[in-house]
Structure 1
Amino acid sequence: MSGEGITMGAHRYYSHRTFKASFGLRLILMFCQTMAGQNCIYVWARDHRVHHKYSDTDADPHNANRGFFFSHMGWLMSKKHPLVKEKGKTIDMSDLEADPLVRFQRDWYFALYISIAIVFPVSVPIYFWKETFWNSLLVCYFLRNVMVLNQTWTVNSLAHIWGNKPFDKNILPSENPLVSFLTAGEGWHNYHHTFPWDYRTSEYGTTFTGTTMFIELAKSVGMAYDLKTAPNSMIIQRSVRTGDGTPIHTTSQTNGIIEGKNQANGHTKLR
């Protein structure tokens, strides 16, 4: 739940607006994002928008050029670089400032965090399964927090250091299958930084991205709509123009287009 609050909520919906959501879905996403304990939606989305606009520069909150530890968790233990503060003030946050749920969570974050991230998950095993308080606190709060936090942080560290770059070889974000496995699809990072508005965050659809599946499930019940995608032709052309030659995944409908590009450019392959 808390993981999807970050990937589907804070990231794909609130930061990038890759789809539109009903009030009910927004309420669920706010609840789950609060449970994750990664600051309020407003701050998370602001930092992420700065990260995309100034990726891996001194204005990036978790600049991967400062090393693995810094991009993984060190940035949360350090004072922000002056450029992070300066550029953060220039980011358009009007959409979130106009959202009453986002404002409510920001204004009451501490109380909501205590009740949703600590009291609620710890109380469930105690009430339903007669678990001890200490066991429940250890597993449902501390262990869960450590796992979810580190899974999220791998996107900023591992996926900015190791992996292929089939869409843009000139940036650090990379395609990292391990990170995608740990984060329900957030590790296809070269694709995501190239096409940040695409709700799928990858070329694979739902095959390797659990969060994409949840978004499509929400769409099927009328809670999500206007899902944004990058056109296949744009994906192919960008891969040919700036990719590192790594094979890209395609559907049968686009194979002919790519084969033509292969002959013209001699490096992009089908998978």
Structure 2
Amino acid sequence: MVIDNSPNFTLPAITNKDKYKCFLGEFETPLVWKNIISHSILHIVAVCYIFIHDYKNHPWIMVYAYTIFVISIFGINGGAHRLWTHRSYKVKTPLKVILLVSYSTTGMYSVLDWVRDHRVHHKYSDTNADPHNINRGFLFAHVGWLCMKRHPDVIKKGREIDISDIKDDPLIRFHTKYYQWFRLFFCFVLPSMIPPLLWGEPWIVSILTNSFVKYAAVLNATWTVNSLAHYFGNKPYDKNLRPTQNLLVAFLTKGEGHHNFHHAFPWDYRASEFLHMFHVTTIAIEFFHKLGWAYDLKTVSPEVLRKTIERCGDGTHELSKLTN
């Protein structure tokens, strides 16, 4: 099930005073019904299938789907996020291709749109210009922002944000031009074909697992960074920021839940001060660094880290406890 989550930057101007009403309530911006219906169908089918899946007779399909899930998360975290949005490290062409293919398995919108959204998010975090502004509610930050027209401030700032580095990259330009085909093939067609062809998994089992369960899992894991990690947790690095440290999100996203650290130091390729066993993205980047495919890995200096914790932290960091 392919869902069109592409951001709309060609909307007519909408004044902040406008309100849009429907049987669901009153909203700041108009609802996008095709996305609401698509997301609803996706999640209903995925949840229902999880409950009726015959785990005893089809155990390996879930292992396989989880493997694709991890590959997708690496494409988001290692590629769209840490590499192309924040430029926290550099890569050689073989790894760039791997990251683009991995990102294609997510079924999200293009790298160019993802980077634009995330740069706007960091520059105008938790304001009306933030695409998934947490101040509009937990559900809005999680998925609602994809189910309604964008706030006029998001559209305005999205047009102003600099993404020339993405537009000037020939490989990303090619990927963006044909992204609908990349997404269709690598997110839905190829992952659904492999289990039936390699070990005789029933086609319906493979399609439901990969095109619904896995797809929904990737989307929701990623969305928790916008919702849970802006709502629950402590702020050891900068108490003035809304993003928090959330270990559940770090587990679900394989390392993106140390969000207070990340917003304080967005250029750090680790997105965390500490390396846990489930920080798959950081481990993968360091593996490719040893291969020579990833280089110029940026980190915050210990001195800057210490001063930031002492000056801005909420006192929950171990360093703060030692100095108090």
Q: Shared topology, TM-score over 0.5?
A: yes
Counterpart-to-counterpart distance in 2, 1:178 and 1:154: 9
CA RMSD of aligned residues (A): 1.4
Counterpart-to-counterpart distance in 1, 2:277 and 2:188: 33
Counterpart-to-counterpart distance in 1, 2:260 and 2:288: 26
Within 5 A, what are the aligned runs for 1:19-34? 19-34=89-104
**Structure 1 residue 189 corresponds to structure 2 residue 254:** no
Q: Is the contact made by 2:309 and 2:317 (CA closer than 8 Å) also made in structure 1?
A: no
Which of the numbers 21, 32, 41 marks the counterpart of 2:111? Answer: 41
Q: Is the contact made by 2:107 and 2:184 (CA closer than 8 Å) also made in structure 1?
A: no
Q: Is the contact made by 1:62 and 1:156 (CA closer than 8 Å) also made in structure 2?
A: yes
Change (3 A) 1:208 1:236: farther
1:219 equivalent in structure 2: 289
Counterpart-to-counterpart distance in 2, 1:206 and 1:162: 20
**Equivalent position SS for 1:7:** helix
Give the deviation of 1:249 after TM superposition.
6.9
**Structure 1 residue 107 corresponds to structure 2 residue 177:** yes
**Equivalent position SS for 1:24:** helix
Greater relative contact order: 1 or 2 (C-alpha under 8 angstroms, separation 6 or more)?
2
Segments of 5+ residues of structure 2 without an aligned counterpart are: 1-70
Q: Is the contact made by 2:83 and 2:89 (CA closer than 8 Å) also made in structure 1?
A: yes
Give the deviation of 1:144 after TM superposition.
0.4
Amino acid at match of 2:213: L
Within 5 A, what are the aligned runs for 1:36-115? 36-115=106-185
Change (3 A) 1:18 1:248: farther
Counterpart-to-counterpart distance in 2, 1:11 and 1:70: 21
**Equivalent position SS for 2:79:** helix
**Structure 1 residue 10 corresponds to structure 2 residue 47:** no
Counterpart-to-counterpart distance in 2, 1:60 and 1:127: 44
Counterpart-to-counterpart distance in 1, 2:311 and 2:131: 29
TM-score by length of 1: 0.91
Counterpart-to-counterpart distance in 2, 1:33 and 1:116: 9
Within 5 A, what are the aligned runs for 1:111-126? 111-126=181-196
Counterpart-to-counterpart distance in 1, 2:72 and 2:273: 25
Segments of 5+ residues of structure 1 without an aligned counterpart are: 251-257, 267-271
Give the deviation of 1:130 after TM superposition.
1.0
1:210 equivalent in structure 2: 280
Q: Is the contact made by 1:168 and 1:244 (CA closer than 8 Å) also made in structure 2?
A: yes
Change (3 A) 1:84 1:207: same
Identity of aligned residues (%): 48
1:253 equivalent in structure 2: none
